[in-house]
């Protein structure tokens, strides 16, 4: 599966536990994000660009970076 860049908003991110969810701009889809998939530090309501990759428990956001 070819990964493509997706944009969205960080809906939730728990810094203490190192994970959260990103809501895609073009749909109601939400993707899990782990701190290991971040390129920039994120917080709730940040606009981000990322790739979706199959993980152990489903789809994960990787190469997540904040759009400024």
List pLDDT tens digits, range 12-62: 999 999 999 999 998 999 999 999 999 999 999 999 999 999 988 999 999
Q: Check residue 3 and give its pLDDT.
A: 67
Our count of domains for the chain comes to 1
For tokens 């860049």, the residue is 5
Q: Check residue 35 and give its pLDDT.
A: 97
CATH no. for residue 26?
A: 2.40.50.140
Domain membership of residue 14 as a residue range: 5-66
């Amino acid at each position: 599966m070819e990964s493509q860049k997706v944009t969205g908003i960080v809906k939730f991110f728990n810094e203490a536990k190192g994970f959260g969810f990103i809501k895609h701009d073009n749909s109601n889809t939400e993707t899990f994000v782990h701190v290991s998939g971040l390129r920039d530090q994120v917080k709730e309501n940040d606009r981000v660009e990322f790739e979706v990759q199959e993980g152990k428990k489903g789809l994960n956001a990787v190469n997540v970076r904040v759009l400024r």
